[in-house]
Amino acid sequence: MASALTHRVASLCSLGTSRSVPTSRKLTEPFQFRPCNFTLTPVKCASLSISNPAGSFTWDDVEHVSQPEFSWDDRSDLGGFRERIKLCNRGNEFVSEFLPFVVGAEVVGYIHNGFTKHLKDFEDVFVFPRDGSYESGFGYHVGLSPSLRTPEDKTKAVARVVECLGDALIPGIRNELYPVKSSFGSSIVFSLERAAAPYFGIKAYGVHMNGYVERDGEKLLWIGKRSREKSTFPGMLDHLVAGGLPHDVACGENVMKECEEEAGIPRTISSRWLTALLMSMNYEVHSFCWLFTVAFAPNQFRAIPVGAVSYMDIDGYRFKRDVLFCYDLKLPEDFIPINQDGEVESFKLVPVPQVANIIRRTNFFKSNCSLVIIDFLFRHGYIKPEYDGYLDLLWSLKCGDCS
C-alpha cells in the first residue's frame, strides 16, 4: 500500500509552492490523482505587473494586458497557461500530512493532522480509530461516532462543530450545504457547510459556463468582475456564470439557477433561439411546436455540457479536491448580462484571443476559472496540436481525482 502511494505521489505534477508546514509523514491510504508532468516555462511580458494584489486592477488594465502588441511572446507559447494550472494544484508534496476521513467504510475526505486537534474536543462527534483498517503515518484515521446513525444526525452534529470552531478556524461561513460522498455518483453520507469542505478534504463539485457570442466569424466571451464585497477572490475576473454544486441540486438545474442569478439569463432564452432559427428558414413556426416540446422541454435551456476539469490544492489545513463541470452557451449578439445577486460588479465582452492573453499574462482571473477557459480554448481550436506541450497541457486539466 505504501509503495503504491509513493508511486502515485511521485507521478503527480510538480506544482507545489513553498510554505511553513510540519515535517511530511508517509500516508498509506492512496490518493487518486492524474499525473500531470510538465516543465513550467516563463512568459515574456512587457511593463505592466501581472502580480497585482487581488482585485486591485481595472478594466483598463485588463484591456491593456490583453492586446496582441502588449507582449513579445509567441502565440504558441503555452507557459502562461501552465502557470495558471499550477496555481490550482499546489502542495501535492504535503498529502502525507493528511489522514483519511472515513464514514460508513468509505473514504470521503482527508483531514490535516494539525486540524484534528480541534476535532478531538468533540468526542461525541468524532472518533479516531487505531484499528489499522486505513493506515497512515499517524497510526489512526478520522471517523464519526457510531451514535450518529442517519445522514441527518451526522449533518447536525458536524454543523454544530463547525459553528463552535467559528470564523477563526473556518472563515467565510455561507450557510450553504455541500453533499459529502466518496464520488459523484455515490450516495450522500451527510451534508457539510460549504466553507468547511476543504478543511475536511471532501470532494466538491461546481458548474462553470462559458457564455460566448459569435460576431463576424469571431468568438467573444462574456467575463465578469467579481464584487469587491465578496469574501473570496474580491474584484477578480470570473466566468459569466459559475457556482458550487450544493446539496440535492442537479448540475443542469444549478446552471439555470446561476444563469438567472448571476447574469439575468432567462430559462426561456432557447425558445427564442428556436423561433428565430425557424423563421430564418422560412418555415411556419407554429407547425413545429412539437419540435420545441421534444428538443427543449421541460428545461427550455440550451447550456451544453462539454466535459469537466479537476484539480487538487493543498494550502495549510485546506485540501481542495474539486471537479468543475463545464458548459458552453452561445448567446445572441444583442444579449447584455445583468447581475441579479450583487456578486458581480460588471461584465465585459472580450474577444477570445484577448481572454487567452489575460490568462497567459496575469493572475486577474479567479484561479479555477482559468482551467475552464483553457479547456474552452482547446475545444474551440485556439490551442493547437502543433504547439509545444499541447498534450501535457491538455492532460494537466484533470490533475485531480475526476470521479
DSSP assigned state of 16: -
Q: What is the pLDDT of residue 211?
A: 95
Side-chain half-sphere CA neighbours of 163 within 13 A: 8
> What tens digit of pLDDT does each residue of 190-226 get?
999 999 999 999 999 999 999 999 999 999 999 999 9
Within 10 angstroms of residue 351's Cβ, the number of other Cβ atoms is 15
Go through the chain and tell me how many residues it has: 403
User: Is pLDDT of 162 > 90?
Assistant: yes
Whole-number pLDDT of residue 70: 53
In sequence order, what DSSP letters do the residues of 183-244 get, joined into one string? STTSPP-EEEEGGGHHHHT-EEEEEEEEEEEEETTEEEEEEEEE-TT-SSSTT-EEESEEEE
As a whole number of angstroms, the distance between CA 151 and CA 185 comes to: 17
The per-residue DSSP string of 65-82 comes to: HHSGGG----TT--HHHH
pLDDT in tens, 271-301: 344 434 444 444 343 333 323 333 343 333 4
Angle CA 128–134–137, to nearest 5? 80
The pLDDT of residue 230:
87
Question: Domain 59-274+298-397's class?
Answer: alpha beta
Give the integer Cα–Cα distance in Å for 102 and 105: 6
The position carrying cell 447574469 is: 263
**Beta pairing partners, 309:** 324
Domain ranges of the chain: 59-274+298-397
Q: Which residue has the cell 421534444?
A: 294
pLDDT tens per residue, range 27-52:
334 444 344 443 333 333 333 434 45
Q: What is the pLDDT of residue 76?
A: 59
Given the C-alpha cell 474584484, which residue does it identify?
235
Q: Are 42 and 16 in contact (CB under 8 A)?
A: no
Specify the pTM: 0.80
pLDDT per residue as tens digits for the range 67-114: 886 554 545 589 999 999 999 999 999 999 999 999 998 999 999 999
CB of 86 closer than 8 Å to CB of 15: yes
Q: What mean pLDDT is reported for the chain?
A: 81
Q: Give CA–CA dist 301/287, Å, rounded.
A: 21
**E strands, 258-331, in order:** 304-315, 318-330
Predicted confidence (pLDDT) per residue in 219-276, tens digit? 999 999 999 988 889 999 999 999 999 888 899 889 988 888 889 888 766 334 443 4
- Is the pLDDT at 18 greater than 60? The verdict is no
What is the rounded CA–CA span in Å between residue 38 and residue 396?
Answer: 8
The residue type found at 220 is L
The mean per-residue pLDDT over the stretch 367-388 comes to 96
What percent of the chain is modeled with pLDDT above 70? 76
Q: Are the beta carbons of 26 and 10 closer than 8 angstroms?
A: no
